[in-house]
Amino acid sequence: MDPSGAAVQAEAAALRESAAACPVLLPGDVPGVVITRHRELRDFLADPAVAKNARHFAAFQRGEIPAQWQLNAFALVSGMTTADGDDHRRLRGLATKAFTPRRVAAMRPWIEKLTGDLLAELPGRRDADGVVDLRRWFAYPLPMGVICELLGVDTAYRDRLHGLTHRMVSTSTTAAEAMAAQVGIHEVLAQVVADRRAAPGEDLTSALIAVRGGGHGPDGEGDTEGDAREETEGESGRDAGHGREQDALPGGDRGSAPERLSDDELAGTLLLMIVAGHETTLNLITNAVRALCAHPEQLALVLAGEVTWDAVVEETLRWDSPVANFPFRYPTADLVVDGVTVPRGTPVLAGYAAAGRDPREYGQDAGRFDVTRPAARHLAFGHGAHYCLGAPLARLEAVIALRNLYRAYPGLRLAVPDATLPPLPGFIGNSVGELPVRLG
């Protein structure tokens, strides 16, 4: 497989563009499919016979997926995103306790302040031609700053975490690079946990450490939970039962597990928050500005106060979903999608970008960006038990970002033709790699 090759890029673009066929074969060397239509995707995401834990992946069970499979970096993260049933409820419940609406609401003044600072710095970011890459200097540092503030991650780690996240989510990197990036993120997060253990604060990491039940002392030492964790991991290895990579699989349903986070789960939760918490919102802000640049008549409606910024954000989420296709799920029984049988254990991706443009759901003009469209029930934040935990935060950030950006620079426009903007590599993220603009 040449993951950065033209064939994968073309397939990724086709996946983004159309819900005409469903399911669609996954590009790459692992046989899998993508659900590309709204209704089918909604049903699929809510289907109790569909699992997220990779122990249900038929090829893993047969030992056919090499330990270096590129997407192991995601499939093997230990945390709520790879957990099912009671195990998922426990992990999500613990994270939710620490990620309260009050904590999100309390971030508002801080987000406004960071937004103002970044906007004030933009003129100084212009190159010799007066062009500034808005993705790099605004759309990225805002959500990254917010999630790091929320998690209590020191500013010194941020760019490193962003680079590693990008390598992890970019399917143009090799398997070894993606895994190395995940290891790198874990190393940084181990340091973050150590920092917060030494000096707990009001941040989410400190709250999760407290939830974990060990606000002090090195991991596992004199800590019965450490023993419990070893037992649990052994169990999941036995469940999967084949080879080294299966030993690394995150645990399956563990029903009566205690209301605690193991060290692995704490690390997995933090990793998920960092990765999910910034790369996605970065794409949302980028895609919204890009869409408004391409549709100045709609921007005019918003600036005239006839349409809200919330409507812009929702239409962007539908029309240009920040996540193109993600994450893997595995039917635990043969699944029929639009007359096509998807065998049990097949990796299936949610095709959020294609589903957002499904004419069966949004009408024949589904492919048109229209901020006056009555609020569409898009699936860009997922659906069902794994619905995005950060959706309120992402919406808050995007609205604050856009409102203040256009207040400061109402004449902002693209510096190059839209068609020349480079799409993100791979088929997970859905955005462009840079957004060169003139501030007006």
Chain positions contacting ligand HEM, by CB under 6 A: 45, 80-81, 92, 272-273, 276-277, 280-281, 284, 322-323, 327, 350, 352, 380-382, 386, 388-390, 393-394
Taking each helix axis as running N to C, give the angle between helix 309-319 and helix 296-303, from 0 to 180 degrees, rounded to the nearest 10.
Answer: 150
Which residues lie below 8 Å from residue 79, measured CB to CB, with a gap of 6+? 91, 250, 265, 268, 269, 271, 272
* Beta strand pairing call for 33-35 and 348-350: parallel
Please state, in angstroms and rounded to a whole number, the distance separating the CA atoms of residues 136 and 15: 26
Find the shortest distance in angstroms from Cβ 91 to ligand HEM. 8
The two tokens of residue 159 are 């760019």
Q: Which residue's CB is nearer to ligand HEM, number 274 or number 439?
A: 274
Find the shortest distance in angstroms from Cβ 417 to ligand HEM. 26
Q: Which residue's CB is nearer to ligand HEM, number 252 or number 415?
A: 252
Q: Which residue's CB is nearer to ligand HEM, number 188 or number 350?
A: 350
217, 270 Cβ separation under 8 angstroms: no
Q: Which residue has the tokens 């935060």?
A: 393
Q: Which residue's CB is nearer to ligand HEM, number 84 or number 263?
A: 84
Helix (H, G, I), strand (E, B) or coil at 51: strand
Please state, in angstroms and rounded to a whole number, the distance separating the CA atoms of residues 327 and 169: 11
Q: How many CB atoms lie within 10 A of CB 330?
A: 26
Q: Which residue's CB is nearer to ligand HEM, number 261 or number 415?
A: 261
Taking each helix axis as running N to C, give the angle between helix 175-198 and helix 263-294, from 0 to 180 degrees, rounded to the nearest 10.
Answer: 110
What is the amino acid identity at position 141?
A: P
What is the amino acid identity at position 269?
A: T
Find the shortest distance in angstroms from Cβ 63 to ligand HEM. 26
Q: Which residue is nearest to ligand HEM (CB)?
A: 390
Find the shortest distance in angstroms from Cβ 79 to ligand HEM. 8
**Residues in the chain, overall count:** 440
Q: How many CB atoms lie within 10 A of CB 202?
A: 10
Find the shortest distance in angstroms from Cβ 386 to ligand HEM. 3
Find the shortest distance in angstroms from Cβ 89 to ligand HEM. 9
Find the shortest distance in angstroms from Cβ 227 to ligand HEM. 27
Q: Which residue's CB is nearer to ligand HEM, number 96 or number 372?
A: 96
